[in-house]
Chain A
Amino acid sequence: MSAGHYTHDNFGKTVMRSQVAIALLLLLCLPLANFWFPSAYSIKAGIHGLSAISALAVGTYLTHRALPLVKGMQVQLQSLRRWVLAATLLNLAGAISGNWIYMRYRGQDGPRDWILERVPAIHNVLMEFKEFVSLFPFPLMLSATALLYYYGLPMQTRRDLCRFVGITILVSWSFLLLGFVVGLVLAKLRFV
């Protein structure tokens, strides 16, 4: 008998969902704390943190939905495309709030000046990289959403189309992770 087929009962599902909900709530406490940071830019930072972590959480969940798509398995396309749409909107919020907080990053005596004075390589290599790859997840997710809605349910008959959309979701998540990690490094070095 294959060990790969295990159907979770209702209790198992409740446990897992509770775990995810608790973990997510605790994780969201990290950006929530920004709202109390003694800085004139705490609201911008808090909103960017909340949208970035939410986008990362949904993007990570979606990698588990994308894998069956890549493997050519039958998936619940209606539910999947709603999740991908949600991820697109969260990534858009992350990009817009990122632009907003980026103003202060470049402002007078902002984090950029501080970093350039002390550890210039962090700005010149890491930040110049992050600024751009953080923009990638939104258009990638939007493209996946548009294709899932454009083809509709008959899409499952074409394995190659499903595979490509699955790969797009995985690629989007990898850029999300890159941008997120560099963002955390930056916030740890110098808050706005």
Chain B
Amino acid sequence: MQHPTESNSQALHSGPVVAASLALLLAFLTLMVSHHISRLSPGLDKLVHSYGYWIPGSQGKGPDGSIGSYTGKETLAIGVWLLSWLAFHLMWRKQDLDLAAWTRIFVISLVAITLGFFHPLSDPLVLFIAGFFGLP
């Protein structure tokens, strides 16, 4: 077992933890927003779907089916996840951020996003916001 010295214990920063977990939240949020957008109209569904055409099986037909616009939602989420993780990591890797406060924000946000996928709860809110933008 290696004994950490004073110098390398000082070298540890909490920034990378916040970067990794904030990127996760943004990815899950992207998944949620793109999912609700795709449900508003066939045109919007096609738009979201078009990001996922690169995934094999995204456009099949018949009994074998296809993954449909789910592929577009996944692609957008992966893009936001990896790019934001890289950006936040580069920004905060030498910084110490308040992890006690962030842990609370992280868990509460994760619960809120999870509930956003539960249609009986989220649909009224989604329709209200969509109506605000004049969407069907």
* A interface residues (Cβ-Cβ under 8 A, vs B): 40, 99-100, 102-110, 124-125, 128-129, 131-133, 135-136, 139-140, 143, 146-147, 150-151, 153-158, 160-161, 163-165, 167-168, 171, 175
Q: How many residues of B contact A (CB 8 A)?
A: 47
Instruction: Tell me whether B60 is interfacial, beta carbon within 8 Å.
Output: yes
* Known A99-B74, A107-B62; 5 more pairs at CB < 8 Å: A102-B65, A102-B70, A108-B63, A139-B27, A151-B12
A103 touches B20 (CB 8 A): no
CA distance in complex: A146, B99 (Å): 17
Closest to B116 in A: A132
Q: Which residues of B contact A (CB under 8 A)?
A: 1-2, 4, 8-9, 11-12, 14, 16-17, 20-21, 23-24, 27-28, 31-32, 35, 55, 57, 60-68, 70-71, 74, 77, 81, 99-100, 102-103, 106-107, 110, 114, 117-120
* CB proximity of A131 to chain B, nearest CB, Å: 7
In the assembled complex, the CB of B29 is this many whole angstroms from the nearest CB of chain A, namely 11
Interface of B is mostly: helix
Residues in B whose Cβ lies below 8 Å from that of A110: 63, 65
**Nearest-Cβ distance from residue B63 to partner chain A, whole angstroms:** 5
Rounded to whole angstroms, the CA-CA distance of A109 and B65 in the bound complex is: 9
**B63 x A128 contact (CB < 8 A):** no
Q: Are A153 and B114 in contact (CB under 8 A)?
A: no
Query: Helix, strand, loop or mixed for chain A's interface?
Result: helix
Distance A106 CA – B74 CA, assembled complex (angstroms)? 16
Tell me, rounded to whole Å, the shortest Cβ–Cβ distance linking B26 to chain A: 11
The answer to whether B103 and A99 have CB atoms under 8 Å apart is no
Residue of A nearest to B32 (CB): A132
In the complex, chain A residues whose CB is within 8 Å of the CB of B110? 171
